[in-house]
Structure 1
């Protein structure tokens, strides 16, 4: 049990979920803590660091099995009686797409351009698959056959459509750069296409849950390494769930009371505060076949615009 009542409350909220999202939390730990430090970890040390979250050994082993065999996120390397787990190449691609969005310091300024994807030539059975993937990438649905994004990476869009076998049957347009424009009608269309009201409420819930953590840690002092790791893991886990549904629209298309900006700042502040303690805990508790996890890669320290450990 943590010495922080607010942190204990967050742990209880996580454990109260039904079904408990053990696999999702494990992916958060891999992406946030393990990938920057070589990407491989001994299962036994993973079981140990997850125990304070209310996850017993059996649940962790079952979740790891599913992530390996059913979801193809993880692969195992057996050394003697010990199993060491890493992200698969497919899991790494999923991770790279997701986590690079999480740790951005600020969103790039919008130049006024749009990427439009017309899906009318796709077979019906393929169209929904493409729609789902484009929505995950931040596209909004302007009609059943028209999707649009003001922040699309065209190389990533083309690569994704190629992986889906849909590039030849998707019509892509990219409008010219121009003055960012946002009429009332376009803002209302954005609110509907991207379900911004629901995402904003999720951000507000995130703020309500984690502001007490920030107030406690910043006023009473940073807690011990284990509590730092627990706080950092739950912070990123909960932020990830909201942020990956956020299309990260430019300010010109957002409502004036958009809560995503405050949520990102709070996440950055808490992450920076607990980073050093959590890294010390990771070094102490997590192992590879060669010993402790290696030190974080230099890119780790660029998260949220710069953190210190």
Structure 2
């Protein structure tokens, strides 16, 4: 099956999902393609971008309306045209959602945990904060107690204030642990996060995108628009998994953890197709001033560096565990 055929299967499988979560896909598009170009885009551009994925103009309108109601997006009218950009809170949530997507290296864990006690919150607010923390990949250590190995107390305080929960939430930062992987801690991690389910999600990601990557090594005839569709689906599926992944340190993960292979595959595919995808974005995306500006310097630092990738050393091969 050619790379084009593989892509057609990916698009078809996306279209068959029910419910079709267009709002989540739009957030992916903002994070991957629009924010690096200033963050503001004409609604018509957005409609044209997602049309090949089977998302109707009506569904786009409904989805962006909901994202405005949920404080992700804000709108500006210029004549009869609508332009959308991320709100301040939406940008902060976006940064939390995307900060790990394009990083190749994860900082070494010092053995410290961020603990959040929710028992003093009202039941309704406790449920809201709990869902927000789960969205940030916090695990549940016990009823009313959430945990994370990477977040810090200082990072969490502004969010709790934004949610109206700061006064009645207790946030603690533990001291670093000398022994980072005692048996009891490894068992607790498995109770707090469903690593088997998370590993299964990574395996399905590899099964989806690995055949296409291999086809591209022998014949790569994807057009700029096809490269963009592939890039959106690639980052969308990868981002959804990372939302559930607390990026536990290696000391607390299985030796054959699928997340390592998934990150390498995502990096390899992205580096191969991003230039052509950017060409299509150059020709299609508009704001009130005309075509969107090109991406900033930060964009080219994704996945360890994108510029001149064609002239650099070949992409790192997938680990033998993928075979």
Pairs within 5 Å for 1:77-226: 77-221=76-220, 223-226=222-225
Contact 2:141 2:147 in 1 (8 A): yes
Are residue 269 (structure 1) and residue 280 (structure 2) matched? Answer: no
Contact 2:152 2:173 in 1 (8 A): no
How does the TM-score come out when normalised to structure 2?
A: 0.89
Distance 1:21 1:180, change over 3 A: same
Separation in structure 1 between the aligned mates of residue 286 and residue 40 of structure 2, nearest angstrom? 8
Worse-superposed segment, 120-129 or 198-207: 120-129
In structure 1, the partner of 2:60 is: 60
Q: CA RMSD in A?
A: 1.9
Worse-superposed segment, 171-180 or 226-235: 171-180
Distance 1:93 1:172, change over 3 A: closer
Separation in structure 2 between the aligned mates of residue 81 and residue 146 of structure 1, nearest angstrom? 49
Distance 1:172 1:50, change over 3 A: closer
Separation in structure 2 between the aligned mates of residue 120 and residue 156 of structure 1, nearest angstrom? 21
**Cα deviation per residue 1:73-115 (whole Å; 9 max; x = unaligned)?**
2222222222222122222221111111222222111111222
Unaligned runs of 5+ in 2: 309-323
In structure 2, the partner of 1:45 is: 45
Contact 1:222 1:273 in 2 (8 A): no
Distance 1:233 1:112, change over 3 A: same
Unaligned runs of 5+ in 1: none
Separation in structure 2 between the aligned mates of residue 61 and residue 247 of structure 1, nearest angstrom? 33
Secondary structure in structure 1 of the residue aligned to 2:215: helix
Distance 1:43 1:142, change over 3 A: same
In structure 1, the partner of 2:319 is: none
How does the TM-score come out when normalised to structure 1?
A: 0.93
Distance 1:62 1:138, change over 3 A: closer
Number of matched residues? 307
Q: CA deviation at 1:172?
A: 2.8
Separation in structure 2 between the aligned mates of residue 276 and residue 204 of structure 1, nearest angstrom? 27
Worse-superposed segment, 251-260 or 117-126: 117-126
Secondary structure in structure 1 of the residue aligned to 2:100: helix
In structure 2, the partner of 1:297 is: 296
Separation in structure 2 between the aligned mates of residue 92 and residue 261 of structure 1, nearest angstrom? 27
Are residue 231 (structure 1) and residue 230 (structure 2) matched? Answer: yes
Secondary structure in structure 1 of the residue aligned to 2:99: helix
Contact 2:153 2:171 in 1 (8 A): no
In structure 1, the partner of 2:313 is: none
Distance 1:204 1:125, change over 3 A: same
